[in-house]
Chain A
Amino acid sequence: MADLLTLYGEVFQSRFLLGTALYSSPATMLDSVAASRCEIVTLGLRRQNPKDRDGQTLWSAIQSTGKRLLPNTAGCKSAKEAINLAEMSREIFATDWIKLEVIGDDYNLQPCPFGLLEAAAELTLRGFKVLPYCTDDLVLCQKLLDAGCQVLMPWGSPIGTGLGLMNKYNLKTLRERLPHVPLIVDAGLGAPSQACEAMEMGFDAVLLNTAVAKAAQPAVMAQAFAAAIDAGRSAYRAGLMLKRQTASPSTPTIGQPFWHQHPK
């Protein structure tokens, strides 16, 4: 049976969402998107003259991928800023989907739970399909669901750190307590093994950018992440063995020659 990802009623084969920032060139970004086999790419909005040639080139490149666009509200520090930027995104990109970011701390770019919740509720009322970038706090996630979010994107660790899954207890708790909610680990992943671990834990997908864009060979790294995400997903579906404290032989002990036949 096909193992598909459903987000807001749309169905995807890939469980890898990839960012379009920080690449050395639009061509490198395009190669990486292709190698990742992703179906959703994230992008942002910034102050600039629309006639700026660099901006137009990158936008044309992103458009040419034909991928579903997931615009973000990166850099917003209040619900009001995020709501306005989301409205601007909807007008430009003609999509109700929004990766909602409301940052509460400049040092670790930690999402502000209060602003996030306020913005999520208002944007849902305005017809947006909100994918909030949030912390791994269970109560916040429950409140975001109450506000109308149908997908949650808890952080693995702070954006751009590459620290991986910082708080596995919280992440496991989210997975166990919200078994039917699509959960995407967003941010902080630095290595394919970390993405694989997130998928093994039962997360539905992974979103990342820096680890691919800043690799020496971004397209090769994108391919590596794609393989790791597939492997982790397969392992989760296959069912991981339970860990235990003591050894247990895998080779049968019955019929073991020389067993207890030490000379007296």
Chain B
Amino acid sequence: MLTILLNNQTISLPAGSTVSDALNALGSSDGPFAVALNDEFLPKSRYQQQPLNDGDTLDLVAPVGGG
């Protein structure tokens, strides 16, 4: 198992999980959102290949109103 911080919440995933697996676990594989892994932008094209490590931080952002 590995533990990551997803949007400031701790979640556990099987060892060897990718970013795609984390998004699927959250039920968030569709929709307008973008991802940063350990504070670095991660393009969508890399979700399936990008492995997660224990202690990683994954941030999902989505559109909100803004000034």
Contacts and interface: CB of A to CB of B under 8 A. Distances in A.
A71 B62 CA distance: 11
Contact of A23 (B39, B62, B65): B65
A92 interface: yes
B40 to A, nearest CB: 6
A87 B41 contact: yes
Interface string B17-57: 00000000011101111111001110110000000000000
A50 B32 contact: yes
B63 A72 contact: no
Given A47-B8, A84-B36, A58 B63 contact: yes
Interface residues of B, number: 26
A45 B28 contact: no
B34 A45 contact: yes
B66 A19 contact: yes
Contact of B63 (A74, A87, A92, A208): A92
Contacts of A84: 36, 39-41
A56 interface: yes
B32 A92 contact: yes
Contacts, number: 110
Nearest to B34: A88
A90 to B, nearest CB: 9
A46 B61 contact: yes
Interface string A47-58: 111111001101
A44 interface: yes
Contact of A210 (B26, B39, B43, B67): B67
A207 to B, nearest CB: 8
B60 A49 contact: yes
A246 to B, nearest CB: 44
Contacts of A23: 65
B28 A50 contact: yes
6 contacts: A21-B66, A42-B66, A46-B64, A47-B7, A50-B62, A187-B67
Pairs A-B, 10 closest by C-beta atoms: A44-B66, A19-B67, A209-B67, A88-B34, A50-B31, A21-B65, A50-B33, A87-B41, A20-B65, A45-B61
Given A45-B63, A48-B7, A87-B34, 19 more contacts: A43-B64, A46-B64, A47-B8, A47-B60, A49-B7, A49-B60, A49-B62, A50-B30, A50-B33, A52-B62, A55-B62, A59-B32, A62-B63, A74-B67, A91-B44, A92-B34, A159-B67, A209-B66, A210-B67
Interface of B: 7-8, 26-28, 30-36, 39-41, 43-44, 59-67
